């Protein structure tokens, strides 16, 4: 998208934010990154109909809902965009990162924790004011990140095939503090804390297996199958969803690791997110958004971009 197209598109959004906010009350919306088109795609759920395009900086890669803000990382540009979700307008653009990768949102809806792989840091943001609050060194190649439901602890994978995970205390929301690093039983990729706060799932960067840890004792509780690596994980109450982009599968497990169902999704569907009763997995290679229900059944699979790395769910304020 050239500069003139960006200005025209942004101007068109400025005239209709209230109308779009009203449209969000009709149902939840998926915000999908269009990695090669410098924009987000707002997709109605569960119909899969494209409602609007939201212009951004180039190369939006990851996206995460934090309160009424969607945090978008642009690792190639060293920037983070903060999108006001009720109106779908870019409220702030923050620079000064090296390679921002992924975000975990605090339950308070205000604080976000963004990993910076280039600097080996986790960066605290105030998404309401659009400010960087603190940077904490956690280890090289900080990448996937998750927060426990109580909002007190981050788990961070240090790389796409991580030899170490970092445990970070965020009891002081504005100033995270590295507690320790440890080595999992394999090279880790994604990490997620389940809604019960006890089960921590770690996916693999080099094998078709996952680890389920007890967050209190650090013991491995289960080693469920996850198809070809790398896998990604998200949760609903009582279940975990695991995608394998190379295999083109989404598995549903109980939190203790027991397998329930296995569903075919488009190949290249790596990242996966659950919110408000929907499971979303976009395809990096095909630009398709796959919408599933909480039982792991495919409801729609729609092509929304040339390539799509991530998606989240937003709702009206």
Pick the range with the lowest mean pLDDT from 2-6, 68-72, 110-114. Answer: 2-6
How much is the pLDDT for 26?
55
Q: Which residue has tokens 């650090």? A: 218
How much is the pLDDT for 315?
78
Mean pLDDT over each residue of the chain, to the nearest integer: 92
Question: Parallel, antiparallel, or unpaired for β 249-254 and 111-116?
Answer: unpaired
How much is the pLDDT for 317?
39
Q: What span, in angstroms and rounded, lies between the C-alpha atoms of 271 and 155? A: 17
Cα-based distances in Å from 223 to 208, 210, 230, 257 = 10, 5, 15, 7
Q: What span, in angstroms and rounded, lies between the C-alpha atoms of 289 and 301? A: 6
The tens digit of pLDDT for each residue in 251-266 reads 999 999 999 999 999 9
How much is the pLDDT for 14?
41
Q: What span, in angstroms and rounded, lies between the C-alpha atoms of 201 and 207? A: 15
Helix axis angle for 17-24 and 3-14, nearest 10°, is: 70
Q: Is residue 148 predicted with pLDDT exceeding 80?
A: yes
Q: Is residue 15 predicted with pLDDT exceeding 50?
A: no
Distance of CA 221 to the CA centre of its chain: 25
The tens digit of pLDDT for each residue in 93-139 reads 999 999 999 999 999 999 999 999 999 999 999 999 999 999 999 99
Q: What is the separation, in whole angstroms, between the first and last Cα of the chain?
A: 30
Q: Is residue 27 predicted with pLDDT exceeding 80?
A: no
Mean pLDDT of all residues in 56-63: 98
Mean pLDDT of all residues in 135-160: 98
In the DSSP assignment, the letter for residue 22 is: H
Q: Is residue 7 predicted with pLDDT exceeding 70?
A: no
Query: How large a percentage of the chain has pLDDT more than 70?
Result: 91
294's tokens: 């909480």
In sequence order, which residues have a C-beta less than 8 Å from that of residue 74 and are 6 or more positions away? 56, 57, 58, 59, 60, 61, 80, 81, 100
């Amino acid at each position: 998208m050239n500069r003139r197209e960006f200005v025209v598109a942004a101007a068109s959004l400025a005239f209709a934010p209230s109308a779009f906010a009203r449209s969000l009350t009709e149902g939840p919306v998926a915000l999908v990154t269009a990695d090669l088109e410098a924009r987000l795609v707002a997709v109605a759920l569960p119909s899969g109909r494209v409602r609007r395009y939201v212009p951004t900086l180039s190369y939006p890669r990851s996206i995460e809902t934090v309160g009424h803000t969607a945090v978008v990382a642009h690792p190639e540009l060293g920037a983070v965009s903060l999108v006001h979700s009720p109106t779908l307008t870019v409220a702030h653009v923050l620079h000064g990162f090296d390679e921002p990768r992924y975000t975990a949102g605090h339950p308070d809806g205000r604080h976000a924790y963004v990993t910076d792989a280039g600097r080996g840091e986790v960066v605290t943001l105030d998404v309401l004011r659009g400010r960087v609050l603190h940077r904490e060194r956690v280890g090289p190649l900080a990448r996937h990140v998750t927060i426990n439901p109580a909002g007190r602890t981050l788990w961070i994978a240090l790389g796409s095939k991580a030899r170490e995970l970092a445990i970070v205390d965020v009891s002081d929301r504005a100033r995270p503090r590295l507690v320790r690093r440890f080595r999992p039983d394999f090279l880790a990729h994604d990490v997620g804390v389940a809604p019960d706060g006890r089960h921590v799932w770690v996916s693999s960067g080099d094998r078709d297996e996952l680890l389920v840890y007890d967050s209190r004792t650090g013991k491995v509780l289960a080693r469920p199958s996850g198809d070809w690596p790398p896998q990604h994980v998200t949760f609903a109450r009582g279940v975990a969803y695991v995608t394998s982009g190379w295999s083109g599968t989404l598995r549903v497990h109980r939190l203790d690791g027991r397998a329930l169902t296995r569903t075919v999704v488009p190949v290249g569907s790596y990242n996966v997110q659950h919110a408000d009763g929907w499971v979303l997995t976009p395809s990096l290679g095909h630009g398709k958004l796959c919408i599933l229900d909480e039982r792991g059944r495919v409801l729609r699979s729609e092509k929304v971009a040339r390539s799509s790395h991530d998606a989240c769910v937003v709702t009206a304020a």
